[in-house]
Amino acid sequence: MFITAPTRSGRSTEDADLIFDVALQLAPTGGNSALSTLMNLVIFGMIFASFFFGQQIQSRIAILQLDGAVRKLEFIKSDAKALALRTIKEIGKPKDDPLSALSGLLEQFFISPVDMDPAGIVGKLDHLLDVRDLKFKADVKKLAPEATDSQVNNLENLVEASWALNLLYKIVRHFYLLGKKTSSFYVILQLQMLLPMIMQEAEAYAGAAKAFALGQPVGDGAGALVASRLMRDHEKREVDKDVMVAETAIEGRRIMALKAKGPGGNVGKPGDAIRTLIEENTGKVAMVVMVDAALKFEGEKTGEITEGIGAAIGGVGTERYKIEAEATKYKIPVYAVIVKESIQEAITPMKKESAEDANGVIERIKTLIQENTKEGDLVIVAGIGNTVGIAQ
């Protein structure tokens, strides 16, 4: 755009006239009324501001968005805590008000073992996790003295979901306040970029809290549901702490189906249980099939069944390590059949697709067994996942 500067004496009036003329030339209709001049000046001001203060403006907008997200997280966290408190009072019938004890539980932390010298770290981590689980369960039992074992497990899961939301809120608030305090555009930007995923996770935990409070099966229980279908109407025994096993037969093969002890919220220690079963049979196991819910990629269909090789089990890795070590010791092939779900679906009430998949998974297991073993062989089928709302 061509701009002609006016030639007048006096520097300040010259500059003002220049801006005035530029504003007039930029006006859409070329009008010279006071209003159109004002509008042009506003537009100029905005261009100037975006040139020199763009980053600060962007930071302010991001801080406003983060502020809303922190408030929403605080609401979700408080809601989950209130739900936990209400359920503890309803089920556990405590004599004293459990609020302060519950608040203390939500602030608990876990220190991972030092990994500078990684030799033996799995054992150390497993031991610390056992101590943590026992302490958590004992604390919940103290809060809800009238609750049954199954209800204590559900309450423990509910308090854990509430604990996770509390931690998520504190982490997001920490980075939000840090970004605000230091006016660091990059700290704010990083948090803003992760915000959609964080909020999705928080909403999933809120859904999980409701499911655990009511004792509804969650998507993660797809593996446990398959094992329970195999175990139905067969004699069961507790093979290891919180893991049940039943012997059945498929196509002339002996099947040992195992799952965590339900119907309370429980994942058990399937690694220990598989190790015990293999040792009981002196390694004479033809194959191990693990069934679990696994994370799907965006765009993949919920409830899709796929199979692969390896120990299908989540968590920090201690249970997987035990299964892999035992399978390697006796050269036992480990197969995995998974039911695909999103992270939200895994911890919220089980979807119809996943529930209906149980029979499809059993058909896959039958095919695997027929193709890879012979009659009379022993096969271990492990249903992995949280067994809330699923008995055996």
For another protein, the binding residues (CB under 8 A) are: 29, 31, 33, 35-36, 39, 207, 214-217, 225, 228, 232, 262-263, 348-352, 354-356, 358, 389-392
If the CB atoms of residues 68 and 283 are measured against another protein, the closer one turns out to be 68
If the CB atoms of residues 161 and 187 are measured against another protein, the closer one turns out to be 161
If the CB atoms of residues 268 and 271 are measured against another protein, the closer one turns out to be 268
CB of 210 within 8 A of CB of 371? Answer: no
The distance of closest approach from Cβ of residue 353 to another protein in the complex, given in angstroms and rounded to an integer, is 8
Side chain identity, residue 273: A
Tokens of 204: 């999933």
If the CB atoms of residues 224 and 368 are measured against another protein, the closer one turns out to be 224
The distance of closest approach from Cβ of residue 76 to another protein in the complex, given in angstroms and rounded to an integer, is 12
CB of 278 within 8 A of CB of 326? Answer: yes
Q: What phi and psi values does residue 369 have, to the nearest 5 degrees?
A: -65, -45
Q: Which residues have CB under 8 Å from 71's CB, separation 6+?
A: none
CA distance 212 to 208: 6
C-alpha radius of gyration, the chain, whole number: 30
Three-class secondary structure of residue 62 per DSSP:
helix
Residue owning tokens 């979700």 = 76
If the CB atoms of residues 279 and 300 are measured against another protein, the closer one turns out to be 300
Tokens of 281: 């049979």
CA distance 332 to 278: 9
If the CB atoms of residues 318 and 348 are measured against another protein, the closer one turns out to be 348
The distance of closest approach from Cβ of residue 347 to another protein in the complex, given in angstroms and rounded to an integer, is 12
If the CB atoms of residues 69 and 369 are measured against another protein, the closer one turns out to be 69
If the CB atoms of residues 217 and 385 are measured against another protein, the closer one turns out to be 217
CA distance 228 to 358: 10
CA distance 45 to 47: 6
If the CB atoms of residues 247 and 353 are measured against another protein, the closer one turns out to be 353
CA distance 53 to 81: 42
CA distance 244 to 233: 13
The distance of closest approach from Cβ of residue 236 to another protein in the complex, given in angstroms and rounded to an integer, is 11
Tokens of 146: 């009238």
DSSP at 2:
-
Q: Which residues have CB under 8 Å from 13's CB, separation 6+?
A: none
Give whole-number Cα distances, 309 to 38, 84, 116, in Å.
Answer: 71, 39, 31
CA distance 176 to 23: 40
If the CB atoms of residues 39 and 343 are measured against another protein, the closer one turns out to be 39
The distance of closest approach from Cβ of residue 179 to another protein in the complex, given in angstroms and rounded to an integer, is 24
Nearest by Cα to 161 from 390, 351, 391, 388? 388
CA distance 146 to 155: 12
The distance of closest approach from Cβ of residue 390 to another protein in the complex, given in angstroms and rounded to an integer, is 4
CA distance 211 to 39: 56
